[in-house]
Amino acid sequence: MQNNDTTDFGFEEVPSADKQRRVGEVFTSVAQKYDVMNDLMSFGIHRLWKRFTLEMCALRPGFRVLDLAGGTGDLALAQARRVGENGQVVLADINAEMLQRGRDRCIDGGLLGRVAAVQCNAEILPFADNYFDCITVAFGLRNVTGKGKALASMQRVLKPGGRLCVLEFSKPIYEPLRKIYDLYSFQLLPRMGEWVAGDRDSYRYLAESIRMHPDQETLRRLILDEGGFDEAEVHNLSGGIVALHRAFKY
């Protein structure tokens, strides 16, 4: 059982103060092959999940958007095109290697003027209160040590009337799908990580971290109770393998 001084790192219980470093080592290791592995792991479906998330953001020209755990920048680039020249997107990640890849993509896409790259911790966001119109977190919340603290930090920097969209792996809602998904996650995924990225252990951790992440309703309650949001809804995608939680601040 965990206490306040320990937390999960995959299936391993570790000191809370140590998780951030160990997660950082994982993403430093996988950064170079991250986009390739995303396509392989999801058979390209992650692009549809992110497209749905983008639609649920309901962005408008001139909006300020924070893309947390934004990694290699694919979502931030799409957001920048929607907010236009008068808008702003902040691509934020705690990992320097991932953030550098995202910044490079923004430069290559000619959108660096609309996208600011910021290295920061989601639990202590370095932004003013009531600043952003929308915040997104795609496949990053499960790696945060203090999820409730991070959600409260997001709520603080979000404008009244703003929305948070959390896209994350979740719990399949159909029993046969769960068995297939477990087989894929714990047998095939680490092997793919070894063959393509040369890193079996990091992809085993990623599979384990998905299983340790709160299920749909537990996360919805966390967003409301510890995050301080006023409303939260759940949209299951691909049978609940992934879920989008959309929350509102009034």
What tens-digit pLDDT sequence spans the chain (250 residues)?
445 688 887 888 888 878 888 878 877 777 776 777 677 778 889 999 999 999 999 999 999 999 999 988 999 999 999 999 999 999 999 999 889 999 998 888 888 789 999 999 999 999 999 999 999 999 999 999 999 999 999 999 999 999 999 999 999 999 889 889 888 888 888 787 787 767 788 788 888 888 889 999 999 999 999 999 999 999 999 999 999 999 999 9
Residue 151, domain CATH: 3.40.50.150
Asked if residue 78 belongs to a domain, the reply is yes
Q: Is the residue at 230 inside a domain?
A: yes
Query: How high is the pLDDT of residue 24?
Result: 80
* Domain presence at residue 77: yes
Helix%, strand%, coil% for the chain, nearest 5: 50, 25, 25
Determine the pLDDT at residue 33: 66
Q: What is the residue range of 83's domain? A: 47-171+216-248
- What sign does the dihedral 39-43-47-53 (CA atoms) show? negative
Q: Where is 17: in which H helix or E strand? A: helix 16-30
Residue 147 lies in a domain: yes
The amino acid at 124: I
How many domains is the chain partitioned into structurally?
1
pLDDT, position 1:
40
DSSP reduced 3-state for 134: strand
pLDDT of residue 187: 84
Residue 69 domain-assigned? yes
The contacts of residue 51 (CB under 8 Å, 6+ apart) are 78
How far apart, in Å, are the Cα atoms of 121 and each of 100, 172, 235? 16, 29, 27
Residue 81, in any domain of the structure? yes
Decide if 63 is inside a domain: yes
Tokens 């893309």 belong to which residue?
A: 67
Residue 39, in any domain of the structure: no
pLDDT for residue 4: 61
Residue 154 parent element (H or E): helix 147-157
